[in-house]
Chain A
Amino acid sequence: MSKFHSTVTRRDFMKALGLTGAGLGAAAAASPVFHDLDEFMSSPNAKRKLPWWVKEKDTPTTDIDWGLVKRWDARNSYHDTPEKVGYLIENREKLTKQWSLENKLGYTQRDLALWESMNFPFSLLRGSWTGPAIEMMLHTPEAMGVPRYQGTPEENLQMLRAAIRFFGASDITAMEFDGNAQKCIFSHYSDGKTYEFENVDKAYEDDTKRVIPNNCNNVLVWSLVQSDSLGSRTAEGDCSYANSTATYMAYYRIYNIEGMIQRFLHVLGYQGLAHGTGGMSGAGAFATLSGAGELGRVSFNLHPIYGANIRSPNKMLTDLPLAATKPIDAGLKRFCLDCARCADVCPSGAVKQEGPQWEVHGSFNNGGFEAWRPDYAKCLPYRGFPGGEFPSDCGMCQAVCVFNKQDKAGIHEVVAATVATTGIFNSFFTSMDKAFGYGPKDPEDWWHEKLPVYGINSYMA
């Protein structure tokens, strides 16, 4: 028999062709086809898919002494008081003009234009406590005289995951709003109003307080990935408008999505209490407790897939029953113990080089848990505030995080799985991250690159 000619007969070829056709037909028949929302939300796409190396635990990797946790007063925030926010100052105006004229890297006139296109009144970020004002236009069960939607807690979470991913968020977790979790709610907001728990059916707000009904006993947490292709444009050793633009773009999206979730819940017949990114509770609290990530060195919630490239894990209280997700351990906090890239690049020294502590640095921190707490008194001048060194918000700590990786190069999965399993390679991986040039990139290059819409790889996770 010749080695150089095909030994496949015409009959075998036709048989193989038939089998291939049958295979394709079977694959097509097995492909998901959705006829309604019920089928859609029960599809695997609506389930939370954690990478295999992420372990679900009963307690978060952050040690918490609930006996020491007290409801924090947000009037102590360095970010929210009216005298510290929302106005430009002489120094900032001077630098803006000077750097524009100098074509300073990251602060050119077109960088400024991009940044200011995202600059909008921060009061909008606070959203609406009980929901958008257009609620009267919604076909709620109350308005239509029909029973409200009913589903199991598992079905409800899947339904919300399907909807909220469609709205634009990246990950959705949930937890029970029990006695300890209630301590995560601020005592006061920066406007002086208190957050109160009352035995009423509906949430409300008056001149002195925002009221949480006791029936809102579930917390929904939704994390939004921001554009790392823009967020990373901060040359090492300096901040930039570009980095800040990515942040502000995320805030725009958060504001819109929050309203969408509230309207979605209202039409189903349920409440959704939210107060933007800076209201109601600290951003990392419910995220860490519900498994949206681990609390890292900059007090960011580090997501196992998106790293620090998350703009504020957002939270909403609801009376819709939700299946709780568990806290996670992906070795992220342990990695932060050995890696301090964020602290290395912090221009203010606000991000600490030492390990996590129980002590607080000032009234702007809350106590009761062992964590890295940035010194916001040092951070503030770098966030576009009065007397500041930079006109825009500095986000270099976020931009250099080792976990901000895309999913194209296979090595990232190997590193992430190793980090989740053992900490002995952490220092090596930190060194390699620097050697391979990950982290800040030239802001000028961004204008010439082919990037996805919103600068986000929405296929991740």
Chain B
Amino acid sequence: MEGQAAMNISCQRCNKSKATVHITDTVPEKRERHLCEDCAEQEGVIIKQKHHTTNEILQQFIKHKVGAAIGLELESISCPQCGTTLKDFQTNGQLGCPHDYVVFRDALMPLIERAHEGATHHVGKVPPTAEPVVRKQTGLVRLRRELQEAVEQENYERAARVRDEIRALESQ
């Protein structure tokens, strides 16, 4: 938190909000100014970062990328299981069935990556009934990432432990 002195100054431009941006101009003359973020942005002193929810990002993304994809051969494809098309997804923001993730994978992957901070692989829980090969695969993805992290952090003890786990899982 900021000091009390700074906390109590109100914006010199609008006189309403609390000044959180403190500037010392040197040209044309030396002077101090105290502005709120909105006024600072209007004066071009700072650029406020716009925040969008994942849903907004998703909607935008569906419009542009999936929209572009629809112009190509994907337009004619509908899921053989549920009949959903990419156009339906574009309209509703929801898919029709689990198989859509197979049929439309190429169109969906960039969107999935974008919505999940670049992630493309699940590393969490696997259904207890899932076949062993799935459990193995998911486990390996997670462990390899842990190995990379451990190496980056120069935690070689942990890296060695993770490497052994990877070998054990690979030989299963």
Partners in one complex: no
B→A interface (CB under 8 Å):
none
A→B interface (CB under 8 Å):
none
